[in-house]
Structure 1
């Protein structure tokens, strides 16, 4: 088994500490998971508006929001408006190809003064025809074994199966250690795995990982691997089968080439109908964001 440590690039975004684990130079994807931010925990000042993200587009990906505390309003160009609360997943699908995309906004409701979430993107298999969509999952499989609590956000684990829609094989599993414990994770042949430490620390592959570090794990022929968590630790297990094509990320877009990314930038900035119905921002205080040009050297 090969285990690699990835450390976060952390910045403040409107008073919210955001630790970015994926993509980065040494590792761009874990299976089809192509983006990973740990946002918060944040406590907003009394005069703060909290999270306020204006209308912005996505292509060839799914946004996967796992809420830990606080609440956020999602509104998109398909017409969906949905409040997400802790232990819930919002899954928004941009669709595939040069004619499909989606746009959305994200806002903290008035009176909500905290935010803690894991924000993920899933790269879509671009050889498949996939339409834009939005799904909200208010209830997910949840269980406890030997002082360890589990919530399955997507995929299968043991006898449990999450209802979350998938376009490629994946797993997402929230794990909290009420006491120190060693757990065994079944491994699928050909998959890649990652373990985000949200709080506390774990041991994997002979290394110790602490908050806002990511363990990237290649299991080779092993049928399982072990994680050892200290009491009070909170982690998120991610895994999946790599996609059969390149995954290139720029700003809020995913594609398989620089040229496709540049077309997405042009389409969004010119107001193309590719991204669905323009979101009515009246009364929200939000703006329509402008897509930056793709760097020449991006590959």
Structure 2
């Protein structure tokens, strides 16, 4: 039932730990998901600057930050300023180009607090890579179908699954689900290819421990499922699990914070950022992250070096 297991590569960002899951050397993407990180869990003392990511650019992707605890303040070059809070969705589509920053609100810096969440990048399909950039306003619980019974809480964060559809507008077939499982609870991911579901699926254990078949998986592990597998997932202790998948969009180049199917387009994005041709966010235009100087890496199933430089996102 299991195609591959990916262990998050941990990195200390000075006060909190980040686990990089995707891209992985032998598995660049799951469906259109080309980047996945876990941030925390962490707790910051009053006065500590939890997240402080200066303005940086994107092309060819959508971003989705989903929090279990804490808050991140988003600002972008379209003029939006939006706090991201637990259980909410703010969907940003870079398309032909957008610039944003991610900070801790000054009020939260003064009081301190917890921070724990996930960030995903979703590669856009070929015909939508160059769409106008956009930011989907806050989607709260009313826009995200949820189910709760017998120790299982499930929220559809984006896409379609279990006969439901989230209000977030996506560019290609996908699903992204948050499970909270009490000890002993059993459930199953959306169906795979053989049952009329998505071609690629995976589960990421953000907290706790689960059992699939005869195998046990714990916090920081992604389980990539075989296309036709229909497993049952059992929580061995209270667990938070992100379930994701979708249809592939084709090979992509990922370099720094850019995603594209074209090397020429990637080179143009680099030149645009280096020359200052991309607008900085309103109310956050006094600094930015300079363009690194590193080679690009294509998404591919065979082993390859990890892409460098690292994306600027904290998660």
**What is the TM-score with the length of structure 2 in the denominator?**
0.85
How far did residue 280 of structure 1 move?
Answer: 4.1
Q: 2:171: which partner in 1?
A: 167
Gaps of 5+ in 1: none
Q: What secondary structure sits across from 1:185 in the alignment?
A: coil
Q: 1:82: which partner in 2?
A: 82
Contact 1:261 1:294 in 2 (8 A): no
Q: 2:267: which partner in 1?
A: 262
How far did residue 279 of structure 1 move?
Answer: 2.2
Q: 1:138: which partner in 2?
A: 140
Contact 1:76 1:105 in 2 (8 A): yes
User: CA–CA distance in 2 between the matches of 1:38 and 1:44?
Assistant: 17
Contact 2:154 2:180 in 1 (8 A): yes
Contact 1:14 1:51 in 2 (8 A): no
Q: What secondary structure sits across from 1:25 in the alignment?
A: coil
Write out per-residue CA displacement over residues 24-50 of structure 1, whole angstroms, 9 at most, x where no aligned residue.
101110000000000011111333122
Alignment of 1:208 onto 2:216: yes
Counterpart of 2:280 (choices 274, 278, 286) is 278
Equivalenced residues, count:
286
Contact 2:39 2:116 in 1 (8 A): yes
Contact 1:57 1:104 in 2 (8 A): yes
Q: What secondary structure sits across from 2:12 in the alignment?
A: strand
- Matching of residues 184-199 of structure 1 within 5 Å: 184-189=188-193, 191-199=199-207
Alignment of 1:247 onto 2:249: no
- Matching of residues 21-36 of structure 1 within 5 Å: 21-36=21-36
Alignment of 1:93 onto 2:97: no
Aligned CA distance change for structure 1 residues 3 and 47 (closer, same or farther; 3 Å): same
User: CA–CA distance in 2 between the matches of 1:82 and 1:281?
Assistant: 12
Gaps of 5+ in 2: 299-315
User: CA–CA distance in 2 between the matches of 1:145 and 1:131?
Assistant: 41
Write out per-residue CA displacement over residues 100-139 of structure 1, whole angstroms, 9 at most, x where no aligned residue.
2000011111242221110110000122352210012122
User: CA–CA distance in 2 between the matches of 1:265 and 1:204?
Assistant: 43
**What is the TM-score with the length of structure 1 in the denominator?**
0.90
User: CA–CA distance in 1 between the matches of 2:6 and 2:238?
Assistant: 22
What's the C-alpha RMSD, in Å, of the aligned pairs? 1.8
How far did residue 156 of structure 1 move?
Answer: 2.2
Of Structure 1 and Structure 2, which has the larger fraction of its residues in strand? 1
Counterpart of 1:232 (choices 238, 244, 251) is 238
User: CA–CA distance in 2 between the matches of 1:45 and 1:186?
Assistant: 40
Q: 1:127: which partner in 2?
A: 127
